[in-house]
A and B are shown apart, each in its own frame.
Chain A
Amino acid sequence: MDKLINDFSFGLFIWQIILFLLLLFLLRKFAWRPILKAVEDRETGIKDALDAAEKAKLEMANLQADNEKLLQEARAEREVMLKEAREMKAKMIADAKEEAQAEANKTIANAQTAIEGEKKAAIAELKETVANLSVEIAEKVVKSELSSKEKQLELVDSMLKDANLN
């Protein structure tokens, strides 16, 4: 201890404190502050970049979810539309069939009415024609039958006979 105190160099002590404080001051100004600032800036930069990446990832996921949802919706809509179309088709066919049936029935009914009318007309005409023919034929027969007097008399006789019989 005695030696330690005796060897203590006060001059070196003073120099050490002066030099160290000077070094501290210079390094603080020219080295530590810029270094620590640069490092901190870099760290915040990295952190920001990571945050941004994380955010972008999240946004991406959101977007994907949105897309998925949209797709799902579109698919559902398509499904609905297809179903509707199918129903409409069926309905249209059914309607068309029904209409056609009704039309056909109507046509048939019309045709039948027409045929009935035609038939009636034809029958009436036939009747008329047959009557006319019969009259003509009867006329002609009568004419030929009653061309002579005897025959006229004969007819009267026969008719009288018939009338007698009755």
Chain B
Amino acid sequence: MRKNTLVRLLSVFIFAVSFSATAAAIKDEGDSPKDTKAEIKEYIAHHLQDSHDFNITASTDEETGKIHHYGFPLPVILVDDGIQVFMSSKFHHGETVAESNGNYYKLYHSKIYKTDAAGTLNYDPEHPEHPTNVRPLDLSITKSVVMMLVTGLLLIWLFRSLAKSYGKNGSIPKGIGRFFEPIVLYIRDDIAKANIGEQKYRRYMPFLLTVFFFIWFLNMFGLTPLGVNVTGNIAVTAGLAIIVFLLTNFTGTKDYWKHIFDPLGDGMPWFGKAIIYIILIPIEILGLFIKPFALMIRLYANMTAGHVVLMSLIGLIFIFKSWVGGPLSFGLSFAISLIELFVALLQAYIFTMLAALYFGFASETHDHAEEHDGEVAHL
């Protein structure tokens, strides 16, 4: 009983610290609520983006008005006039122009632009937010890349130790493996076997397990005070979706392609099929791309929405600035945090589940003739 209470208190404390850490970063400088709102909006937008520094928090000096950032810089790698490598501390959080081998770069809204020595940014009159300066290919080790590396190492360490504990302990997992083994088994039995089938599920297992834990862990990291938003970044979800797309189509069987280009089979004479196929085949081909596209957008949108809602609720504290608003906002964001904890798992599950489903389509070999006869009859 005492232990349970302790755990509860600890989790509340962690949440509180997480909020205060995030909250501390939102400094209200202007006195009018409009400024605060705009600032919170900007802060949220900034948070959702990748960052070239690993910032944990920032504070403003009351007297000088100078902003102190707490965190550490990360290496910037630019493919421009060869490869330019320097630490992101050169940007001073976008305040100064960074020089590397005679090239000048400026960090503006988390994006690096090539500028002159003075750091002049030319703005498009129609889109005042987007400078027209050249953007070199940015292969920097950003905050998201660091978090992916950390997650990768964590996963390798965790599951390597689980794999080793089998040998040492007579096929029984030990420690944290006891928690993860049922999840691995769940993915195998209820996701892979259920959607792909007993014969072919094995080849997809490494991908499904990796993608599940990768997304889940990154989602969970997104809820920590580190303030990362990796799975809420469309570049990351696009990468995952493309891998799913390639895996699906490169492992596709003859039946899979037949299903796309000749879904009716022998169920109908050729002249009948020709009329239907003019519409059906483009839809099927479109479906090939829509499936991974939906995967990409679903994960991105869910995680981004979660972060926006959570941060907006925290931001309410600074808009209300009263004894009522604070606790109310805290309570709401606490509740949303709990939901987000669930969503973190749910989205990982959905991504894995749907990927398995698509792999299942790709690897099916059973005879479709009867099924389609039925379909034609229904038509």
Q: Which of A11-33 contact B (CB under 8 A)?
A: 11-17, 19-24, 26-28, 30-33
CB distance from A10 to the nearest CB of B (A): 6
Q: In the complex the two chains form, what is the Cα distance from A32 to B162 in whole Å?
A: 10
Kindly identify which residue among B163, B205, B214, B233 contacts A9, using a CB–CB cutoff of 8 Å.
B233
Q: In the complex the two chains form, what is the Cα distance from A75 to B155 in whole Å?
A: 71
B203-227 near A? 1/0 per residue, CB < 8 Å: 0011101100010000000000000
A54-98 near B? 1/0 per residue, CB < 8 Å: 000000000000000000000000000000000000000000000
Q: In the complex the two chains form, what is the Cα distance from A148 to B366 in whole Å?
A: 166
Stretch from B34-42, B89-97, B135-143, B306-314 at the A interface: B135-143
CB distance from A53 to the nearest CB of B (A): 18
Kindly identify which residue among B152, B164, B205, B235 contacts A13, using a CB–CB cutoff of 8 Å.
B235
Q: In the complex the two chains form, what is the Cα distance from A72 to B336 in whole Å?
A: 75
Q: In the complex the two chains form, what is the Cα distance from A60 to B140 in whole Å?
A: 71
CB distance from A3 to the nearest CB of B (A): 8
Q: In the complex the two chains form, what is the Cα distance from A86 to B160 in whole Å?
A: 81
Q: In the complex the two chains form, what is the Cα distance from A138 to B244 in whole Å?
A: 165
B167 partner residues in chain A, CB cutoff 8 A: 34, 38
CB distance from A7 to the nearest CB of B (A): 6
Majority SS of interface residues in chain B?
Answer: helix
Known: A12-B144, A24-B210, A27-B159. A36 touches B137 (CB 8 A): no
Contact present for B160 and A31 (CB under 8 Å): yes
B139 partner residues in chain A, CB cutoff 8 A: 11, 14-15
Contact present for A30 and B184 (CB under 8 Å): no
* Cβ-based interface call for A4 (8 A): yes
Chain B residue with Cβ nearest A17: B239
Known: A12-B233, A23-B156, A39-B185. A32 touches B210 (CB 8 A): yes
Known: A14-B139, A31-B163. A21 touches B233 (CB 8 A): no
Kindly identify which residue among A11, A16, A24, A39 contacts B206, using a CB–CB cutoff of 8 Å.
A24
A14 partner residues in chain B, CB cutoff 8 A: 139
Contact present for B152 and A23 (CB under 8 Å): yes
Q: In the complex the two chains form, what is the Cα distance from A15 to B206 in whole Å?
A: 20
Contact present for B184 and A39 (CB under 8 Å): yes
Kindly identify which residue among A9, A17, A30, A38 contacts B166, using a CB–CB cutoff of 8 Å.
A38
* Cβ-based interface call for B87 (8 A): no
Contact present for A27 and B206 (CB under 8 Å): yes
Kindly identify which residue among B77, B138, B181 contacts A39, using a CB–CB cutoff of 8 Å.
B181
* Cβ-based interface call for A41 (8 A): yes
Interface bracket on B = 35 or more
Kindly identify which residue among A6, A19, A30 contacts B160, using a CB–CB cutoff of 8 Å.
A30
Interface bracket on A = 20 to 34
CB distance from B82 to the nearest CB of A (A): 16
Contact present for A31 and B138 (CB under 8 Å): no
Kindly identify which residue among A4, A6, A7, A28 contacts B210, using a CB–CB cutoff of 8 Å.
A28
Q: In the complex the two chains form, what is the Cα distance from A93 to B244 in whole Å?
A: 101
Contact present for B171 and A41 (CB under 8 Å): yes
Q: Which of B21-50 contact A (CB under 8 A)?
A: 49-50
Chain B residue with Cβ nearest A24: B210
A30 partner residues in chain B, CB cutoff 8 A: 156, 159-160, 163
* Cβ-based interface call for A45 (8 A): yes
Known: A7-B49, A35-B159, A45-B171. A20 touches B239 (CB 8 A): yes
Contact present for A31 and B240 (CB under 8 Å): no
Chain A residue with Cβ nearest B170: A42
Q: In the complex the two chains form, what is the Cα distance from A95 to B242 in whole Å?
A: 108
Contact present for A17 and B156 (CB under 8 Å): no
Contact present for B138 and A7 (CB under 8 Å): no
Kindly identify which residue among A4, A11, A21, A26 contacts B156, using a CB–CB cutoff of 8 Å.
A26
Chain B residue with Cβ nearest A38: B166
Q: Which of B50-85 contact A (CB under 8 A)?
A: 50, 77
CB distance from A49 to the nearest CB of B (A): 12
Contact present for A27 and B209 (CB under 8 Å): yes
Contact present for A28 and B206 (CB under 8 Å): yes
A17 partner residues in chain B, CB cutoff 8 A: 239, 242-243
Interface of B with A (CB < 8 Å)? 49-50, 77, 130, 137-142, 144-145, 148-149, 152, 155-156, 159-160, 162-164, 166-167, 171-172, 181, 184-185, 188, 202, 205-207, 209-210, 214, 233-236, 238-240, 242-243
15 A-B pairs in the complex with CB atoms less than 8 angstroms apart: A7-B234, A9-B233, A12-B142, A13-B238, A19-B145, A20-B239, A28-B206, A31-B163, A32-B205, A32-B206, A34-B163, A36-B188, A39-B166, A39-B188, A45-B171
Q: Which 3 A-B pairs have the closest CB atoms?
A: A31-B159, A38-B166, A28-B206
